[in-house]
Structure 1
Amino acid sequence: MPDRSESPAALPVDDANARVDQIADAALRLFARYGYKRSSMDDIAKEAGLAKATLYLHFKGKDDVFRAMLRLLARRVEARCREVVAMEAPFPEKLATLMRAHFGEAYASFGTGEHLVELKAVMTTVAARELADFERVFAGFVRQLLEQAEGRGEVLLSRLTIGVEDWIAGLIFAAAGAKLGTAPSCEDYGRRLGTIASVFAAAVTA
């Protein structure tokens, strides 16, 4: 029988959230190392240093853990992106840094990328909402950069022959495409993101 003192309802909210993050962080390490299918709830419990029963007090199953893992990663990436938006730098440099902070940080979190194809498939099947939220956050930060740059006279959005939303969507598609084929190293992926940012920035530079 589960220890009632361990139940989410019995824990203070901050402690319960910390426990969820502890499990999600362990899952992130495990999925990066072994992939989704090869990682069991037992494995996640061991990686987190918890009893398996404790996992089931917070999660129904591995899909729920996966979604929590993505939300944790998204919060970490979002915090880094906020730092980029606040920094002083020319628009092309900020855009490249933002792309590395968002897509590059997420890519690096999954290690060598050996399991990226499998994890991407899992994202689209069991965590489509979390994945959409992740991309929505990036789009919001890009809009902030554009507004900042336009206010300083760095960019002219009137130069675009497509809508701003389509331009941002193109950035997202290009970032995803930069991982196709043989999985690049984190450094190579970062360079590809920098090149993409340069090309897209040139389209709006005043």
Structure 2
Amino acid sequence: MQAKDRDPKAAAILDAAFQTFFQYGVKRATMDDIARAAGMSRPALYLVYKNKADIFRACVLSMMDELRERLAGIALSTGSAETRIMAVARTGIVEPHETIGASAHAEELFALKSEIGADLFRDWMKLIEVTIAGILEQEASAGRVTLAVAGVSAAEIAAMITDGAEGFKLRMTSAEELARRLESFVRLMIGPLAAQAG
């Protein structure tokens, strides 16, 4: 979790906080734990962040900056719409789910998306949607997919994919199962659009 343009002190705190939250959970972790992991005093930590919620939100924002860069790379890459959209889903949905799911405090960390960071979670999913819609629009402009066949816009298809992913996360028991279900769903959504264009 290392954004290139971050202040080094803030970067050290967020890296330490991410590990501390992962190890102890956010509720059990203390500002002392985070300060110690970052190699600083608690008063020095309070000069940068006012509380754990502030740090948690900063961690998510930092992760979102990294996600934005990775998704931009996928959007610019070559490959079919289906391949690139699945790469977006893996990067923005499956990998974070897998990372958080590996923590002993996964349930608490997943719950925090609505307790502390509901707005950030919406922004995260919107970033994924916009990227998927952009890929579909690129492919439609190049004549490799036909959106008119579906009768819905690229933005609507992207929203259905992210909404579907949220439903799948509730039912799937592992990141691998989630990835397989998402792959089938993306193939079902995108495959016919590409076939009609071909």
**TM-score, normalised by the number of residues in structure 2:** 0.85
**Residue 180 of structure 1 aligns to a residue in which SS?**
helix
8 Å CA contact 2:130, 2:155 repeated in 1? no
Q: Aligned equivalents of 2:99 and 2:65: distance in 1? A: 13
Return the match for 1:121 from 95, 111, 116. 111
C-alpha deviation, 1:84, in angstroms: 0.7
Code of the residue aligned with 1:102 in structure 2: it is G
The structure-2 alpha-carbon separation of the partners of 1:164 and 1:146, relative to structure 1 and needing over 3 Å to count, comes to closer
Code of the residue aligned with 2:42 in structure 1: it is K
Aligned twin of 1:107: 97
Aligned twin of 1:6: none
Return the match for 1:198 from 169, 184, 187. 187
Unaligned runs of 5+ in 1: 1-13
Please report the RMSD computed on the Cα atoms of aligned residues, expressed in angstroms. 2.1
Q: Aligned equivalents of 1:183 and 1:46: distance in 2? A: 35
C-alpha deviation, 1:203, in angstroms: 4.8
- The answer to which structure has the higher helix fraction is 2
Q: Aligned equivalents of 1:196 and 1:169: distance in 2? A: 13
C-alpha deviation, 1:103, in angstroms: 1.2
The 10-residue stretch of structure 1 (59-68 or 116-125) with the greater mean CA deviation from structure 2: 116-125
The 10-residue stretch of structure 1 (109-118 or 91-100) with the greater mean CA deviation from structure 2: 109-118
- Paired positions, count: 191
Between 1 and 2, higher relative CO (CA 8 Å, sep ≥ 6) is seen in 1
C-alpha deviation, 1:130, in angstroms: 1.5
What percent identity do the matched residue pairs reach? Answer: 27
C-alpha deviation, 1:143, in angstroms: 1.7
The structure-2 alpha-carbon separation of the partners of 1:148 and 1:162, relative to structure 1 and needing over 3 Å to count, comes to closer
**TM-score, normalised by the number of residues in structure 1:** 0.82
Aligned twin of 1:189: 178
Q: 5 Å matches for 1:31-46?
A: 31-46=21-36
Aligned twin of 2:19: 29
Code of the residue aligned with 2:25 in structure 1: it is G
1:80 aligns with 2:103: no
8 Å CA contact 2:71, 2:131 repeated in 1? yes
The structure-2 alpha-carbon separation of the partners of 1:142 and 1:176, relative to structure 1 and needing over 3 Å to count, comes to same
Unaligned runs of 5+ in 2: none
Q: Aligned equivalents of 1:178 and 1:33: distance in 2? A: 26
**Residue 130 of structure 2 aligns to a residue in which SS?**
helix
**Residue 193 of structure 2 aligns to a residue in which SS?**
coil
Code of the residue aligned with 1:190 in structure 2: it is A
8 Å CA contact 1:33, 1:111 repeated in 2? no
